[in-house]
Structure 1
Amino acid sequence: MTRKIWVFDTTLRDGEQVPGAKLNLYEKLEVAQQLKKLQVDIIEAGFPASSAGDFDAVKEIATKVGNTSDLMITALARAVKSDIDAVYNSVKYAEKPLIHIVLGTSDIHVEKKFGKSKSQILNIGVEAVKYAKTLLPDVQYSTEDASRSEFEYLWATIEAVVKAGATMINVPDTVGFAEPEEFGERIFKLNDRLKNLNDKVLLSVHCHNDLGMATANTLAAIKNGADKVECTINGIGERAGNAALEEVVMAINTRSSIYNVHTNIKTKEIMNTSRLVSSLMGLDVQVNKAITGENAFAHSSGIHQDGLLKSRDAYEIISPVEVGLDDMELVLTARSGRHAVKNALEKLGFHQITNSQFEGIFEAFLELADAKKEVYNHDLYVIVENYYAKQDVHNENMTYYSDHFYELMDLQVISNINFPSASVKMKRGDQILKSSAVGSGPIDALYSAITEISELDIKLIEYNISSVSRGKEALGKVKIQVEYRGEKYIAKATETDIMKASALAYINAINSIVVDQLLPVE
């Protein structure tokens, strides 16, 4: 049996310290419920001494999410009685509450931040733990800035607070200063001494990403005996963020022969958790971020697509299904090769295309891909139809696909306080379709008008805008996710006009739904 690594999630405390990422009580509760589904071992729900709102949120999470013996609920306290009381009075409603105390141990913190002697700071820490132990049996002590602390003083502090009753010791790389080999060596020495002192005490690490090594340092700590890791979803947190939970967990799973440990994390909930945190906090995930980035399992290079279609393990070390995605995504762009385009056409039911016909279709594909950046399945239908029409090719199975797909012709959006409204003009085959609608905002009005034309019962789940260039003529990218009859569809569009991009993205999603209705039954 491999060694268990405890996963302590601090998205709702350290992660929420990102400027602009503050959540209200109901949003924090929703994230906590999802973290419970993810099966983290400990949720750090906030810093209750900081505000009445945070106290109430921690209390609510302890009551409604911490009502199980499988999950600990904690919150942060400085080494002062009032902070410890605030944590206790908010987390005590959980079935397994934990008090988390933090106090610096580096010379910089002891002398410059606190202006006290090392012995004074050590005594403050010991007294804080002793007091916390009168309230709850489980107490974690964090030695802030441990990676820059003098080792023997760091150990003396750990030894003293363990003797005072601490049940978990956390060693933070508070400013991301550590290097994996160096940090691993420090954890090895601390673990050796700690297990000789009291082998029931868990040794934990909390790594920041200032030099881009938070995940690497966390994994080095695991290899050298750490029992517990502190992480955040999507790696959010102070400054450059924290070790990303999804990266640490999937590294452990993928390289199991190296780490020889396991977690309780339900990896298929990773993407759901990532998207929820990103949406509620308003923090976009870097597109090329490991595991949860939009491009983490997307392939547009022809060489990569060809290799993947021949053998998945050529360019894929993790199955996207493992983290909650449907499958790998072969994005059709001007860089896509013949193999990927032919594969996409076959999935749409075009099995009888000859080699010479395919070359003509591929040439048309490249022309459209250069102009449109990304080609969707409904575009492929139209490309094939146009090719057959130009070549006067008779195909008994031929359908006039363009009659099924929607095309934007014009739009007008009026944004005002009282009655935001939108009018759209669209084309479907030879039909010209028009609609107008009002909404709670301009996008709501625009999408209501388009939905009315499509006559599809579509639910918008996610709407994101991001800039992909600078200046007055900056390109804006709109990415949306919609749901139709239980299926989810993601679509994008890029334009200098955000309203046009929004409309095109929505129409791309609708056309994707139409494609599914046209696909041959297997």
Structure 2
Amino acid sequence: MLIHPEDKYSAAKILDLPSRTWPSKRLTTPPRWCSTDLRDGNQALANPMDHAKKLRFFKHLVECGFKEIEVAFPAASQTDFDFVRFLIDGRHIPADVTIQVMTQSRSDLIDRTMQVLQGAPKAIVHLYNATAPVFREVVFQQSKAETIAMAVRGAKQIKALCDKQPDTHWTFEYSPETFCFTEADFALEICEAVASVWQPSEDRPLILNLPTTVEVNTPNVFADQIEYFMMQFSCLDHITVSVHPHNDRGTGVATAEMAIFLDGFLFMASIYFVAVGKSGQALFVSVGNMIVQLPFLFILPRFLGSEGVWLSVPLSNIAFTMIVLPMLLMNLKALMKQHRSENTQMIKKAAVTS
């Protein structure tokens, strides 16, 4: 077990951007939305949607007003491939809606992805490769130059395949995956390289998507990263800068706050019992708070995996609070009764004396 787990990872880098302007800006027009539920949301499900459910969901997203919908990762499975073909061949895509598909920067996957889009009136092809140091150095064992080359090869291949299908109105999208903990200057460099390949124009625009793949910092830091990117990029003509924020810190923060609140209650209960001379109850609360976590830590991970580990602390605190709270209320009630009795005795004694 790590003695100091907080030292295991180095702190995320934070930009020094005193010239930031975003705090004073206001949204005056609706954002341009792209739904990723059918792809990003579906792949996260324990039991992904089948063909019929995906079609129903697609129609629902259209009814909601989405004009850009990422429908699949077609090279990932035959089910996803067939679904995209069904949408195109069955003419289920409204004229004002653009479908989007995603692919890694691998030649075989790009070929498969472009194959599925034959005959589509318009489409967004979303290419990505991981750019952060941990992926470059540990996962792929690539240099910065090799990482850029991978993205450029993918962009060139997609452009060549798009040229073979001139009847489709193409938009190219590129994501430096793990942007939020990629070096700011390297993210700029690789996006500049991809843009120089695609040569964005009014007929063939480019989307540069900057995702918080794994949240490693607070939202204000991400805002600084976006503003710095837009300030430093050479030319943003016919380029849309997009963001794809993940929510892995959302429930984690809520759970942590809940655990801290309940731990705070149990800590105060222990201190209270010490203050009123109930050392046995104080010891029970302090030791019990640790012991009661053990069955939760043993049972929950067996059914919920790593999620069970995180849930063990707040749930065990809730359970133990249900035990400690009645003890605390009973002691407070007895203490108040004793206090009233002592006050009554003092009043009677004072009356007799007078």
The answer to whether the superposition gives a TM-score over 0.5 is yes
Matched-pair contact (CA < 8 Å) for 1:46–1:58: yes
* Closer, same or farther: CA 63–192 of 1 in aligned 2, 3 Å: farther
Residue 211 of structure 2 is aligned to residue 172 of structure 1: yes
Cα distance in 2 for residues equivalent to 1:213 and 1:135: 42
Cα distance in 2 for residues equivalent to 1:154 and 1:188: 13
Opposite residue 156 of structure 1, the aligned amino acid is E
Cα distance in 1 for residues equivalent to 2:92 and 2:188: 33
The equivalent of 1:160 in structure 2 is 193
* Closer, same or farther: CA 198–78 of 1 in aligned 2, 3 Å: same
1:207 to 245, 250, 262: 245
Cα distance in 2 for residues equivalent to 1:186 and 1:145: 12
Q: How many Å apart are 1:115 and its aligned residue?
A: 1.1
Specify the SS of the correspondent of 2:243. strand
Specify the SS of the correspondent of 1:161. helix
Cα distance in 1 for residues equivalent to 2:209 and 2:171: 13
Cα distance in 1 for residues equivalent to 2:238 and 2:147: 25
Higher radius of gyration, 1 or 2: 2
Which stretches in structure 1 are left out of the alignment for 5+ residues? 215-239, 241-469, 471-522
* Closer, same or farther: CA 8–21 of 1 in aligned 2, 3 Å: farther
1:93 to 90, 94, 119: 119
Residue 154 of structure 2 is aligned to residue 128 of structure 1: yes
The equivalent of 1:141 in structure 2 is 174
Matched-pair contact (CA < 8 Å) for 2:127–2:174: yes
Amino-acid identity (%): 27
Q: Deviations over 1:181-236 (max 9, x none)?
A: 11001111112233x4132111011111111199xxxxxxxxxxxxxxxxxxxxxx
Q: How many Å apart are 1:56 and its aligned residue?
A: 0.3
Specify the SS of the correspondent of 2:74. coil
Opposite residue 211 of structure 1, the aligned amino acid is R
Opposite residue 138 of structure 1, the aligned amino acid is T
Given the two structures, how large is their TM-score scaled by the length of structure 1?
0.39
Q: How many Å apart are 1:76 and its aligned residue?
A: 1.2
Q: How many Å apart are 1:21 and its aligned residue?
A: 3.5
The equivalent of 2:101 in structure 1 is 75
The equivalent of 2:286 in structure 1 is none
Cα distance in 1 for residues equivalent to 2:111 and 2:94: 23
Cα distance in 2 for residues equivalent to 1:213 and 1:103: 27
* Closer, same or farther: CA 168–66 of 1 in aligned 2, 3 Å: farther
Q: How many Å apart are 1:4 and its aligned residue?
A: 5.1
Matched-pair contact (CA < 8 Å) for 1:176–1:211: yes
Matched-pair contact (CA < 8 Å) for 2:179–2:212: yes
Question: Is the helix fraction higher in 1 or 2?
Answer: 2
Matched-pair contact (CA < 8 Å) for 2:103–2:128: yes
Matched-pair contact (CA < 8 Å) for 2:87–2:93: no
Matched-pair contact (CA < 8 Å) for 1:145–1:173: yes
Opposite residue 188 of structure 1, the aligned amino acid is E
What is the number of residues matched between the two proteins?
215
Given the two structures, how large is their TM-score scaled by the length of structure 2?
0.57
Residue 40 of structure 2 is aligned to residue 14 of structure 1: yes
Residue 82 of structure 2 is aligned to residue 56 of structure 1: yes
The equivalent of 1:47 in structure 2 is 73
Q: Deviations over 1:74-120 (max 9, x none)?
A: 11101012211222222333321111111011001111121111100
How large is the Cα RMSD of the aligned pairs?
A: 2.4
Matched-pair contact (CA < 8 Å) for 1:33–1:65: no
* Closer, same or farther: CA 66–49 of 1 in aligned 2, 3 Å: same
Cα distance in 2 for residues equivalent to 1:143 and 1:198: 17
* Closer, same or farther: CA 177–157 of 1 in aligned 2, 3 Å: same
Matched-pair contact (CA < 8 Å) for 1:168–1:203: yes
The equivalent of 1:105 in structure 2 is 131
Cα distance in 2 for residues equivalent to 1:147 and 1:174: 7
Q: How many Å apart are 1:145 and its aligned residue?
A: 0.4
Specify the SS of the correspondent of 1:204. strand
Which stretches in structure 2 are left out of the alignment for 5+ residues? 1-26, 163-169, 201-205, 256-314, 316-354
Residue 57 of structure 2 is aligned to residue 31 of structure 1: yes
Matched-pair contact (CA < 8 Å) for 1:32–1:65: no
Cα distance in 2 for residues equivalent to 1:64 and 1:5: 30
Matched-pair contact (CA < 8 Å) for 1:179–1:213: no
- Greater relative contact order (Cα 8 A, min sep 6): structure 1 or 2? 2
Cα distance in 1 for residues equivalent to 2:146 and 2:30: 36
